[in-house]
Amino acid sequence: MKTRVSINGYGNIGKRVAEAVKKQKDMELVGASKMNPDYHSHDAIKRGISLYAISNPDLFTEKNIDIAGSVEEMIKESDVVIDCAPSGVGLMNSSLYAKHPNVKIIYQGGEAANTAPISFNAQANYDDALGRKSVRVVSCNTTALSRIIKTLDDAFGVQKARVAIVRRAADPNDASKFTLNAITPTTVFPSHHAVDLNTVLPHIKITTMSCVAPTTLMHVHMFFTTLRNPPKDVSDVFRVFGKNKRLLIVSAKHGLYSTGQIKDLAYENGRQFGDLYETGVWKEVIGIDSDGELGMSLAIDQQAVTIPETIDAIRAVTESADKETSMELTNSSLGIGQMDLKTAVQSVKQRN
Domain count, the chain: 2
- Tell which residue, 296, 111, 297, has the closest CA to residue 220: 297
pLDDT at res. 180: 73
The string of DSSP codes covering 240-270 is HHHT-TTEEEE-GGGT--SHHHHHHHHHHTT
Which residue type is seen at 345? V
Q: Are residues 88 and 131 in the same domain?
A: yes
CATH number, domain with residue 80: 3.40.50.720
Q: Are residues 210 and 240 in the same domain?
A: yes
Burial class (CB in 10 A: 0-12, 13-18, 19+), 176: exposed
Give ∠ CA 191-140-265 in degrees, rounded to 5. Answer: 130
Encode the chain (352 residues) as per-residue pLDDT tens digits.
899 999 999 999 999 999 999 999 999 999 999 998 888 898 999 999 999 999 888 888 888 888 999 999 999 999 999 999 988 898 899 999 999 999 999 999 999 999 999 999 999 999 999 999 999 999 999 999 999 999 999 999 999 999 999 998 776 766 566 667 888 999 999 999 999 999 999 999 999 999 999 888 899 999 999 999 999 899 999 999 999 999 999 999 989 999 999 999 999 999 999 999 999 999 999 999 999 999 999 999 999 999 999 999 999 999 999 999 999 999 999 999 998 776 554 544 554 4
CA–CA separation, 46 vs 345, rounded Å? 35
Q: Are residues 296 and 194 in the same domain?
A: yes
Which residue type is seen at 242? G
Q: Are residues 279 and 326 in the same domain?
A: no
Active site residues: 140
Q: Are residues 209 and 325 in the same domain?
A: no
Q: Are residues 87 and 223 in the same domain?
A: no
pLDDT at res. 115: 95
CA–CA separation, 162 vs 145, rounded Å? 11
CA–CA separation, 81 vs 104, rounded Å? 6
Q: Are residues 340 and 324 in the same domain?
A: no
Q: Are residues 178 and 265 in the same domain?
A: yes
Helix (H, G, I), strand (E, B) or coil at 231: coil
Question: Residue 165: which H helix or E strand, with range?
Answer: strand 158-168
Question: pTM for this structure?
Answer: 0.94
The residues pairing with 167 across neighbouring beta strands, listed in sequence order, are 212
Q: Are residues 133 and 195 in the same domain?
A: no
CA–CA separation, 74 vs 55, rounded Å? 13
pLDDT at res. 345: 46
Structural domain span for residue 97: 3-138+306-334
- Tell which residue, 146, 138, 82, 85, has the closest CA to residue 109: 138
Q: Are residues 197 and 260 in the same domain?
A: yes
Helix (H, G, I), strand (E, B) or coil at 73: helix
Q: Are residues 297 and 206 in the same domain?
A: yes
The string of DSSP codes covering 308-338 is HHHHHHHHHHHT-S-HHHHHHHHHHHHTTT-
CATH number, domain with residue 202: 3.30.360.10
Residue 195 near residue 238, CB atoms below 8 Å: no
Q: Are residues 201 and 237 in the same domain?
A: yes
Burial class (CB in 10 A: 0-12, 13-18, 19+), 290: exposed
Burial class (CB in 10 A: 0-12, 13-18, 19+), 234: middle
